[in-house]
Amino acid sequence: MDRSNTLTKSVVYVADAYCGWCWGFSQRLGEFETANRHKVAFNVISGGLFVGERAKSIASYPHIPQANERIAHLTGASFGEPYQALLREGSMVMDSVDAAAGLAALRAQAPERAVHWFHELQAAFYARGLSLSDPATIADIASAQGLDEGLVLRALADGSAQAQARRDFELASGLGVVSYPTLLFVDGAEIHKLPATGAALSTLNERLDALLN
């Protein structure tokens, strides 16, 4: 996804697949897109939550279980038992470059379904306890959803998906995003922040309609 495409009139979701609050917003985002995709394009840009020195084992972030409880309480999001087992074992490394590369590889084949791909990545992690650094996780999503699995694996192996992931991070920074999830309405040079986690669907719809009109 390049800047020129993103800065046309669109809803831009900036999120990280390893962000629990983004998982908490996932269902509402899907509802919001379903209600409005006939009016405006929806784009998803990966943010870099766990990159560089922050790409560590999940056990290195001891606040996560308590945060998950709060997320579940406030949003109704479910954290699957395979994920809970992953959390207890603690050794899996959360690397947002790999997660963003997975999104880039899927999004390249069907960019209009970017919200769906992001949800599928988060479900693989938070529901099924799979690592988003494993190319097989991304390939399985592609295969199950009718994409070319070989193209996805090639993009992950040759580095092109990782390069796009880093462009996503730069674009998110250029949009002024410093936390996730962030939902924006972008119209050329104008950027309007929309409500995110905890917002009612009616609130999101009304805000978007006001901006579109």
Q: Counting every residue, how long is the chain?
A: 213
What confidence tens digit (pLDDT) does each residue in 50-85 have?
Answer: 999 999 999 999 999 999 999 999 999 999 999 999
d(CA 213, CA 208): 9
* Separation between Cα atoms, residue 149 and residue 141, nearest integer Å: 9
- Over residues 82-103, the pLDDT tens digits come to 999 999 999 999 999 999 999 9
CA–CA gap between residue 41 and residue 81 (Å, rounded) = 35
| Side chain identity at residue 8, one-letter code | T
Residue-range definition of the domain harbouring residue 108: 3-212
pLDDT on residue 188: 87
**Is the backbone peptide bond immediately before 181 cis, with ω within 30 degrees of 0?**
yes
CATH number of 26's domain: 3.40.30.10
Cα 8 from chain centroid? 20
Residue 185, pLDDT score: 97
The pLDDT of 166-184, averaged and rounded, is 95
Torsion angle (degrees, nearest 10) of CA 129, 12, 151, 38: 110
Mean pLDDT for the stretch of residues 30-40: 97
- The CB-based long-range contact list for 76-80 (8 Å cut-off, 24+ gap) reads 76/27, 77/23, 77/24, 77/26, 77/27, 77/126, 78/127, 79/23, 79/126, 79/127, 80/126, 80/127, 80/128, 80/129
The total domain count for the chain is 1
- Give residues with Cβ within 8 angstroms of 151, minimum separation 6: 105, 108, 109, 142
User: Which structure tokens are listed for 188?
Assistant: 């050329």
